Amino acid sequence: MGTTAPAQADPRAILRGGLPDRYLTPDDIAEMFEVPKETVYQWRKKRIGPPGFRIGKYVRYDPADVRAYVAERKGVDCDAA
């Protein structure tokens, strides 16, 4: 019997570090940050929240971008303290 190659981990899973392996919706972002969905839309309008992008009429967020946004905010909060 032949040996099979060991299954390699999906590099996207490592990159996203526990976040879902799909683009996030505004509902997902609102749930993650425990804010109303309207707040997520206001962040996008004011360009102060995690960066999103449009797919047709839908807004989506890349989990890697959300992770980077959180890391950036943590850095800003630590510097301000």
Cα(81)–Cα(65) distance, rounded to whole angstroms? 24
* Mean pLDDT along residues 60-77: 90
The confidence band for 59, taking pLDDT boundaries of 50, 70 and 90, is very high
In the prediction, which pLDDT does 76 show? 80
Give the Å distances, CA to CA, from 38 to 50, 63, 76.
Answer: 14, 20, 24
Structural domains for the chain:
19-80 (1.10.1660)
In the prediction, which pLDDT does 34 show? 94
Cα(41)–Cα(52) distance, rounded to whole angstroms? 10
Kindly report the pTM of this predicted structure.
Answer: 0.71
Question: Residue 71, Cα to own-chain centre: how many angstroms?
Answer: 11
Mind listing the pLDDT tens digit for each residue in 5-54?
555 555 445 445 666 778 999 999 999 999 999 999 999 999 999 999 99
